[in-house]
Amino acid sequence: MKIVVFFSGTGTNLEAILNKQKDFDYEVISAFTNNPKAEGLKICGKYNTQCEVIDHRVFKTRKDFDNNVSEFLEKINPDYIILAGYMRIISESLVNDWEGQIINIHPSLLPKYPGLNTHQKALEAKDKYHGTTIHYVINKLDAGPIIRQESFKIELNDTVESLTNRVKEIENRIYPETISKLI
Ligand code: GRF
């Protein structure tokens, strides 16, 4: 199974996915980022993985940007597009073209808290539990069919930072495993 991993920032999930390639039945044929300054680029270097960089800021419209992304995807023709901290909304036509083949990981127990600042929202709501969700991408933000969800108990002393780390620790474990079971 051939996958491409999309990221925009730190890339801990990207690293976990690359690292587990040897144990699981998938191959990262390329990475992709919209952010030329993403920390995750160093990880691509470390794992000798080619990374396509298309800076969204040089395009006037989302459509122009996504046309370029589309060309790249057609060229490499992956089985799955794995979003791992990819901070751009994917345009409708791209989602339609790759229907059922785009997977995302979102740091909340969906349908709770789609969008940004999920850790802050869970703390403000005094939630007892928090967690992460792996789901198919559809043309509605963070709303596609859920593949896997994992939760943990929020402790009294948890902060946005501690929740970020606790969530990522789970994500780094379950994302590679879940990807390997996609086919
Ligand atoms: C993760 O918590 C993921 O759920 C969210 O963005 C974060 C990315 O972290 N979509 P990283 O770049 O993989 O470290």
129-158 residue pLDDT tens: 999 999 999 999 999 999 999 999 999 999
Tell me the pLDDT band of 62, cut-offs 50, 70 and 90. Answer: confident
Q: Transcribe 115-179 into DSSP letters.
A: SS-HHHHHHHTT-SEEEEEEEE-BSBTT-SPEEEEEEEEPPTT--HHHHHHHHHHHHHHHHHHHH
Q: Please give the pLDDT value at position 180.
A: 97
What is the residue with the minimal CA distance to atom 7 of ligand 1?
85
What is the residue with the minimal CA distance to atom 6 of ligand 1?
85
Any bridge partners for residue 152, and if so which? 130
For residues 52 and 183, which has the higher predicted lDDT (pLDDT)? Answer: 52
Ordered structural domains, the chain, with CATH: 2-108+133-151+171-180 (3.40.50.170)
Give helix then strand counts, H and E, for the chain: 6, 7
- Residues with catalytic annotation? 106
Q: Alpha-carbon distance 77 to 73, whole Å?
A: 6
Q: Alpha-carbon distance 6 to 11, whole Å?
A: 9
Ligand 1: nearest atom to the Cα of 14 = 13
pLDDT > 80? residue 183: no
For residues 61 and 12, which has the higher predicted lDDT (pLDDT)? Answer: 12
Could you tell which of 82, 105, 152, 179 is best to mutate to test the pocket of ligand 1, judged by most ligand atoms within 8 Å of the CB? 105
Distance 11 CA to ligand 1 centre (A): 7
pLDDT > 80? residue 23: yes
Tell me the pLDDT band of 56, cut-offs 50, 70 and 90. Answer: very high
Q: Using one digit for the tens of pLDDT, what is the confidence trace for 75-134?
A: 999 999 999 999 998 989 999 999 999 999 999 999 999 999 999 999 999 999 999 999
For residues 49-56, give the mean pLDDT.
Answer: 98
Residue closest to 30 by CA, chosen among 86, 102, 82, 104:
82
Distance 6 CA to ligand 1 centre (A): 11
Q: Please give the pLDDT value at position 123.
A: 98
